[in-house]
Amino acid sequence: AEQKPLSGQKWLITAGPTREAIDPVRYISNHSSGKMGFAIASAAQSLGAEVTIISGPVNLTTPQNCQKIAVTSAVEMHQQALAHAPKSDVFVACAAVADYRIDHIASEKIKKSQDTMQLNLIKNPDIVADVAALESKPFTVGFAAETQDVEHYAKGKLARKKLDMIAANNVAEIGQGFNSDDNALTVFTANDEKVLPLMSKSELAKQLVQHIHHTFQSTRLK
Ligand code: PMT
């Protein structure tokens, strides 16, 4: 059989939103469609990788020959990511994980009463930071979704979460980011940056996967 560039590599990719339950019928979430993460999965699989996607609730067909693990909440995504990461070569955290969850999920539907109400939120575990802190850690790529000071915040996340690479997108721009078919990324490592201009998420994913692969290879040669 033909030897592809990512043959023999295991890639683990998180995608989509998480849902944080409020009560049996309500939740907090965000606008992630899963398109970007699934495009990365498809691109890596095409280049020969064995791909596992850990996905929040999305309406997408799983790319051919990729394994999908379906989760709902950030805590579930965290459990699955930490279970699979130690045996993975590359981890790409494309999911839009809720930073906070409801402190106490109501067991019955909350009734309408007062004019105002308060929900108490507590911080979720940071999945990509916990993967990057593993003793046998994969090459770890985060995303940064920002609406301002993109480079500044992305570089902060790269350093604070101890990532190998971060792909930053400006999600305030119309026609890219959450739920659109196109996106643009600026990809940072500790010592370089690469601009991937606006294009379809499928083409962007191919270029990102190539860039991850080349950077990962050069770190292994050192
Ligand atoms: O799904 P689409 O509709 O195609 O949209 C794509 C996208 C905009 C969601 C994607 O390109 C993107 O930016 N994904 C990351 C979204 C996000 O939550 O970014 P953040 O800057 O809040 O988080 C930074 C990094 O930490 C991300 O890699 C995120 O997955 C990770 N994280 C965040 C919180 C948490 N508790 N655990 C995490 O692992």
Predicted TM-score (pTM) of this structure: 0.97
Answer yes or no: is 2 within a domain: no
Annotated binding residues: 99, 109, 125-128, 143, 157, 161
Distance 47 CA to ligand 1 centre (A): 24
The reported pLDDT for the residue numbered 222 is: 66
Is residue 155 one of the residues assigned to a domain? yes
Which token pair is 202? 């499928």
Within a domain: residue 141? Answer: yes
Would residue 175 count as lying in a domain?
A: yes
Q: Which residue among 30, 169, 170, 183 is the active-site one?
A: 30
- Answer yes or no: is 123 within a domain: yes
Residue 19 domain flag: yes
Q: Is residue 4 part of a domain?
A: no
Q: Whose CA is nearest to atom 21 of ligand 1?
A: 144
Q: Is 179 helix (H, G, I), strand (E, B) or coil?
A: coil
This model of the complex carries an ipTM of 0.99
Query: With bands split at pLDDT 50, 70 and 90, how would you rate the model's confidence at 220?
Result: confident
- pLDDT tens readout for residues 165-206: 999 999 999 999 999 999 999 999 999 999 999 999 999 999
Residue-number span of the structural domain to which 14 is assigned = 10-109+117-221
Closest CA to 36 of 11, 52, 17, 9: 17
Q: Is the CB of 55 under 6 A from ligand 1?
A: no
Q: Which residue's C-alpha comes closest to atom 24 of ligand 1? A: 144
Quick: pLDDT tens for 3-57: 899 999 999 999 999 999 999 999 999 999 999 999 999 999 999 999 999 999 9
The letter for the amino acid at 8 is: G
CB 71 within 8 A of CB 80: yes
Ligand 1 centre distance from Cα of residue 17 (Å): 8
Give the count of domains, the chain.
Answer: 1
Q: What is the Cα–Cα distance from 194 to 141, expressed in whole angstroms?
A: 14
The CATH code of the domain that includes 31 is: 3.40.50.10300
Distance 15 CA to ligand 1 centre (A): 8
1 within domain boundaries? no
